[in-house]
Amino acid sequence: MIMIACVDKNMGIGKDGKLIISLKEDMEFFKKKTFGQVVIMGKKTLLSFREQKPLKGRINIVFTHDKKMILNYKNFNSENDDTKIYFVNNIVELNEILDKYKSLEHFVIGGESIYKMLIDFSDVIYLTEVDKICAADTFFPKINKSVWIKEYSEEKKYGDLNYSFNKYIRV
Ligand SMILES: NC(=O)c1ccc[n+]([C@@H]2O[C@H](COP(=O)([O-])OP(=O)(O)OC[C@H]3O[C@@H](n4cnc5c(N)ncnc54)[C@H](OP(=O)(O)O)[C@@H]3O)[C@@H](O)[C@H]2O)c1
């Protein structure tokens, strides 16, 4: 699995169910990487999307125990061709769906609870690191330097804001 996230200087990722940082180039990077692939997320991340709709052109897998919410999406797959949504509540169920999509890449797209749960199953982390501190209530897990090495880094600037695109791989 591949993790993809955008963090502030404290590894913050979100506040009140929303993103804390929204950079156009990062959004484009996210779309380019994940389009046509599988994206794995938690319920709160799904609910943060526009109209609470799954990401277009991707196989969306959502962790939740919320049976009522799942009902709201019951006709979604039959009404859409290249966008699908599946709900799971444990890693066994996740793997059953991933097995159906073996030829695609499997991206873990957040939030905090899902990054924490799946980091040990991941081999790559794409991390956009923004040189700014924001108020946050959710965080990306600490990247253990004895497990992960930075394979690639590209510095960027938007106005006064510095940020970088980074790729970490498991040692
Ligand atoms: N900066 C970034 O790159 C980035 C990316 C994604 C998200 N975010 C931000 O992260 C925040 C959301 O993170 P979060 O941790 O609060 O929420 P989340 O991970 O998106 O969703 C949490 C929900 O997922 C379900 N869940 C988690 N583990 C589960 C398990 N083992 N089995 C079944 N269901 C499970 C639970 O839903 P039920 O309660 O229904 O069981 C839980 O309430 C938002 O602010 C969002 O904007 C930031």
Question: Each residue of 131-144: pLDDT tens digit?
Answer: 999 999 999 999 99
Q: Specify if 7 maps to a domain.
A: yes
Q: Specify if 169 maps to a domain.
A: no
141 lines ligand 1 (CB under 6 A): no
Residue-number span of the structural domain to which 44 is assigned: 2-161
54 lines ligand 1 (CB under 6 A): no
Is the omega angle on the peptide bond into residue 42 within 30 degrees of 0, that is, cis? no
Q: Specify if 167 maps to a domain.
A: no
62 lines ligand 1 (CB under 6 A): no
List pLDDT tens digits, range 46-91: 999 999 999 999 999 999 999 999 999 999 999 989 999 999 999 9
Q: Specify if 40 maps to a domain.
A: yes
Smallest CA separation from ligand 1 atom 36, residue: 64
pLDDT of residue 78: 94
Predicted TM-score (pTM) above 0.85: yes
List pLDDT tens digits, range 145-156: 999 999 999 999
11 lines ligand 1 (CB under 6 A): no
Q: Specify if 166 maps to a domain.
A: no
128 lines ligand 1 (CB under 6 A): no
Angle at 38 between CA 36 and CA 42, to 5 degrees: 135
Q: Specify if 35 maps to a domain.
A: yes
Counted domains in the chain = 1
Q: Specify if 168 maps to a domain.
A: no
pLDDT of residue 105: 98
Please tell me the distance between residue 109's alpha carbon and the centre of ligand 1 in angstroms: 10
Please tell me the distance between residue 93's alpha carbon and the centre of ligand 1 in angstroms: 17
CATH of the domain at 65: 3.40.430.10
What are the start-end ranges of the E strands in the chain?
A: 2-7, 12-15, 18-19, 38-42, 59-63, 84-88, 106-108, 124-130, 138-139, 148-158, 161-170
129 lines ligand 1 (CB under 6 A): no
116 lines ligand 1 (CB under 6 A): no
Q: Specify if 170 maps to a domain.
A: no
